[in-house]
Amino acid sequence: MSAVATAPNLGTAPALPPGRGELSAAVRSALRAEGPYELAGADTAERADPYGEDLQLALYLCYEPHYRGFDGVPDGKEWDPQLLGLRRLLECRFLDALRAETGAVDRVDQALRGLLVEHTDAYDVSHHLKDGGGREELREYAALRSLYQLKEADPHAWVLPRLRGRAKAAMAAVLYDDYGSGRAERLHATLWADLMTDLGLDPAYGHYLPAAGAPALATVNLMSLLGLHRSLRGALVGHFAALETAAPPAAARMLLALRRAGAGPAAQRFYDEHVEADAVHEQVVRRDVIGGLLEEEPELEADVVFGVEATVWLGDRLTEHVLTAWRRGDSALRVPLDRLDGDGAEGAEGTGGTGGAG
């Protein structure tokens, strides 16, 4: 039995999306349950595709109570023991799969080296949008990434109590910039919301969750997973380093794409900020955050490497999903933007996952 004593969230959080299989439907029902309930067990989790729609949505639903929660779901569900138990099984399935895909290098400098140099044969979403992507593709990408960008820095902030000395001070300094240097209108999440508004999208937190397929959910779930576990603090630092290292060149291309598509200054401000700030952040993270962490805890180097490699691997997987859909002339979303209704949730019911992968 799960005891939940706190009042529900009403109107301050996104609606619960429809389930995509047995696990996500079970988690959805558990979040809404007011009394005793039955929850899918270990056998269901162990059979699930670790990168599939069902497991990734179930994991996302388990994590969201640690952020803003869901409309109508009691705040106490954040620590529901049954949900935490299932979440741990899902995490193990996801982590085991990621560890099987990584491990090519064992040193941080090796893991980051490929991100420090722009390879001539590299081609990602920013290249596509700069070279010829249309405004509708820009809007799809902004909607898809909103699940990540509207909580930017939040899971990384969880690492601060777990760091010491130079690493802690440097991480706090970088996060201060991500949080707008004390100015609410410059919060990076706010800048992304402004970008969405400029592109004619709904900037509400979690609005496009029903439209995001498993490859996008996995990138968000990774940072939540790493952020919530003290034992994975090294991997979270690696995750952060991978993002900060790869960001400036891609941000410069996205600026060109936005200008070519006729986007306004509000849409461009997010990437303007990242072109300037992340070039400095990358050096601080490598020298002081990683350097300070490994000076204090050298045994965490393998975890830092894993964080870098897992971030890159999932990012490449998302890129492949998006570009493959666009090259076919399909939507990269499970629910194309023109099929979402006013609240972004009910329009996804029963759509069958158009354009999705996983």
**110 and 195 together in one domain:** yes
Q: Which of 236, 118, 220 is nearest to 175 (CA)?
A: 236
- Residue 36's pLDDT is 87
CA distance 268 to 191: 9
Question: Is 2 inside any structural domain?
Answer: no
Among residues 62, 101, 74, 80, the alpha carbon closest in space to that of 224 is found at 62
User: Which of 99, 128, 153 marks a domain boundary?
Assistant: 99
Instruction: Flag whether pLDDT at 119 surpasses 70.
Output: no
Distance in angstroms (rounded) separating the CA atoms of residues 68 and 83:
17
Residue 6 lies in a domain: no
Query: 338 vs 204, which has greater pLDDT?
Result: 204
| pLDDT score of 357 more than 60 | no
Give the model's pLDDT for residue 102.
Answer: 96
The count of other CB atoms within 10 Å of the CB of residue 196 is: 25
Does residue 143 sit in the same domain as residue 240?
Answer: yes
**234 in the same domain as 93:** no
353 domain-assigned: no
| Location of structure tokens 């988690």 | 27
Looking at the structure, do residues 233 and 289 belong to the same domain, yes or no?
Answer: yes
- Given a contact cutoff of 8 angstroms between Cβ atoms, the answer to whether 61 and 23 are in contact is no
- Kindly report, residue by residue over 264-319, the tens digit of the pLDDT: 898 889 988 877 666 678 889 999 999 999 999 999 999 999 999 999 999 999 99
Position 12 scores a pLDDT of: 72
Domain check: are 186 and 55 in the same one?
Answer: no
| pLDDT > 90: percent of the chain | 72
Q: Evaluate if residue 48 carries a pLDDT over 80.
A: yes
Domain holding 290: CATH number? 1.20.910.10
pLDDT of the residue at 280: 79
Confidence band for 122, pLDDT divided at 50, 70 and 90: confident
Domain boundary among 61, 80, 99: 99
Q: Which two tokens stand for residue 356?
A: 């999705």
d(Cα 31, Cα 57) in Å, to the nearest integer?
13
Q: pLDDT class for 352, splitting at 50, 70, 90?
A: very low
Which of 56, 83, 99 is the last residue in one of the domains? 99
Q: Residue 358: inside a domain, yes or no?
A: no
Q: What is the model's pLDDT at position 120?
A: 55
Domain count, the chain: 2
Between CA 55 and CA 40 the distance in angstroms is: 12
Claim to verify: residue 129 and residue 248 sit in the same structural domain: yes
Domain check: are 85 and 133 in the same one? no
DSSP letters, 178-203, are HTGGG-GGG-HHHHHHHHHHHTT---
| Single pTM value for the model | 0.91
**Using a CB cutoff of 8 Å and minimum separation of 24, what contacts does 28-33 make?**
28/61, 30/2, 30/77, 30/80, 30/82, 30/83, 31/61, 31/65, 31/70, 31/73, 31/77, 31/83, 32/72, 32/73, 33/2
Shared domain check, 267 and 179 = yes
Are residue 218 and residue 172 in the same domain, yes or no?
Answer: yes
Q: Label residue 11 by pLDDT band (50, 70, 90).
A: low
Tell me the per-residue pLDDT of 134-162, one tens digit each, with 9 for 90 and over: 899 999 999 999 999 999 899 999 999 99
Q: CA-CA distance, 152 to 43, in Å (whole number)? A: 34
Least confident of 7-16, 28-37, 282-291, 298-307: 7-16
Task: Provide the residue range defining the domain that includes 208.
Answer: 106-348
pLDDT digits (tens, 9 = 90+) for 228-276: 999 999 999 999 999 988 777 888 899 999 998 888 898 889 988 877 6
For the chain, the average pLDDT equals 89
Assigned domain for 333 exists: yes
For residue 42, what pLDDT band results from cuts at 50, 70 and 90? confident
Same domain, 178 and 319: yes
Residues 30 and 152 in one domain: no
On whether both 84 and 111 belong to a single domain, the answer is no
Mean predicted confidence (pLDDT) in 2-18 = 68
Confidence band, pLDDT 50/70/90 cuts, at residue 341: very low
HSE-CB at 345 with a 13 A cutoff on CA atoms is: 14
When pLDDT is averaged across residues 179-199 and rounded to a whole number, the result is 93
Residues in a beta bridge with 74? 8
The residue among 269, 358, 256 whose CA lies nearest residue 317 is 358
The whole-number pLDDT of residue 343 equals: 45
Which residues share a beta bridge with 8? 74
Residue 3 resides in a domain:
no
Q: Which residue has the higher pLDDT, 312 or 120?
A: 312
Does pLDDT of 347 surpass 70?
Answer: no
